[in-house]
């Protein structure tokens, strides 16, 4: 494995670990907020922050997957029909 591939693999692994941690922390915040029936402004702030962490974590998990498994730009081609 060359140095570039090793750096990319390490980079994507770190992003995936951070994304998984954000998803787990956000999920815990949401479930604790629902379980303890937090209300008012601070309860909404905690639930919104938890949901936001889950969404951001999911985005970065997809980003890390894309860095690890790149798809060439020629993945999709238009129809090659002769009649068009």
Per-residue pLDDT band for 32 (boundaries 50, 70, 90) equals very high
Query: Could you tell me if 19 and 64 are in contact, meaning their C-beta atoms sit under 8 angstroms apart?
Result: yes
pLDDT at 68: 73
Mean pLDDT of 6-24: 89
Stretch among 1-5, 14-18, 36-40, 52-56 having the lowest mean pLDDT: 1-5
CA distance 62 to 54: 12
Share of the chain above pLDDT 90, in %: 44
Name the token pair of 82: 């002769």
Name the token pair of 50: 């938890």
Annotate 7-65 with three-state secondary structure. Answer: HHHHHHHHHHHHHHHHHHHHHHHHHHHHHCCCCHHHHHHHHHHHHHHHHHHHHHHHHHH
Q: pLDDT tens digit string along 19-30?
A: 999 999 999 999
pTM value is 0.74
CA distance 45 to 37: 13
């Amino acid at each position: 494995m060359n140095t570039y591939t090793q750096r990319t693999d390490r980079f994507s692994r770190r992003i995936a670990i951070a994304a998984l941690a954000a998803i787990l922390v956000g999920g815990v915040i949401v479930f604790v907020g629902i379980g303890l029936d937090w209300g008012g402004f601070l309860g909404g702030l905690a639930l919104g922050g938890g949901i936001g962490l889950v969404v951001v974590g999911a985005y970065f998990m997809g980003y890390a997957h894309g860095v690890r498994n790149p798809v060439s730009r020629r993945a999709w081609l238009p129809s090659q029909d002769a009649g068009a």
